[in-house]
Amino acid sequence: MVREKFRRDASIKERSMSDSYVYVYIDPRNFEPFYYGKGKGARKEEHTKSKGEARKTKRIKQIIAAGEKPTIRVIASGLTDEQAYLVETTLIWQADGRTLNEAAGRFSEKFRPLRTMHLKLPGFDSNRQVYFFNVGESSGRKWEDAVKYGYVGAGHGKRYRLAIQGLQEGDIIAAYLSKNGRGFVGVGRVTASAKPARDFRVKGRLLIDYPGIPEGLGNHLNDDDKCEWMAAVKWIKTVSRNEAHFKRKAKLYVPQLVRASLAKQPKTVEFINERFGLDLSKLANGDNE
């Protein structure tokens, strides 16, 4: 009896978690789909009662004024919330801007930008990524050393270690100096994944043994979370801190993170391409240097 009750309760719970659906609004005057949505219960009918200036609301009013009603159809049902959001996002993306949806969908950040099928995009069509990388300076880190010895560094905390360990050979980085210059200072290709300072070598010699290297680079050498980590980089183009590229009020993507993807930041990528005379996507695909 207990086992049967458990199965019955589990079945009820599963059904209640799979009661979402995805619907479409179609203009009967030209049979054009103009809105996709995700809902439960009577959600799909509610837009016909909406007020306001939303584009879909205006379209519904126009249809009604013409003596018609929008055709509402469920495309997929019996879905979990997450499944429904994914289907909704896929349909909106596939519509390529032809619908009146104000938002691109819950999972839109997972989809390639619209109208880019003619391009080979890093992270979509190749495993290589294009990253923003904050070359923040510290007692053991200077931009000039990074250029001279071919690397980027991060560390002194688990999240910083994990950030630099996320770089893979072949990835392209746009180096950003957040202090004492503020701006993009270089573009380079990662040539080797990150290693702790105790193991990072340049031309066969430990970097910490080079003369003039800041003493802080050698701190906490035996503690992976507290020590400095370095990833080898072949710099393609660099500028001095005094020539750092930046433009205020240009909505450039400069997060307070060590590493962040530029896959969804076309304005920032365009800015970097223009200022450095490069094409980050082609670099990531190995098309040019």
The CATH-assigned architecture of domain 18-109 is 3-Layer(aba) Sandwich (3.40)
Residue 193 has pLDDT above 60, yes or no: yes
Q: Which CATH number fits domain 130-284: 3.10.590, 1.10.20, 3.30.43, 3.90.1200?
A: 3.10.590
| Domain residue extents for the chain | 18-109, 130-284
pLDDT value of position 216: 83
Instruction: For residues 108-126, give the mean pLDDT.
Output: 78
CA distance 9 to 189: 55
pLDDT per residue over 161-172, tens digit each?
Answer: 999 999 999 999
CA distance 29 to 63: 8
pTM of the model: 0.64
pLDDT per residue over 255-272, tens digit each?
Answer: 999 999 998 898 999 999
CA distance 21 to 94: 18
Quote the tokens at residue 229: 């980590």
pLDDT value of position 87: 96
Q: H or E element: which one contains 206?
A: strand 205-206
- Whether 59 and 68 have beta carbons less than 8 Å apart is answered as no
Instruction: Note the maximum CA span of the chain.
Output: 83
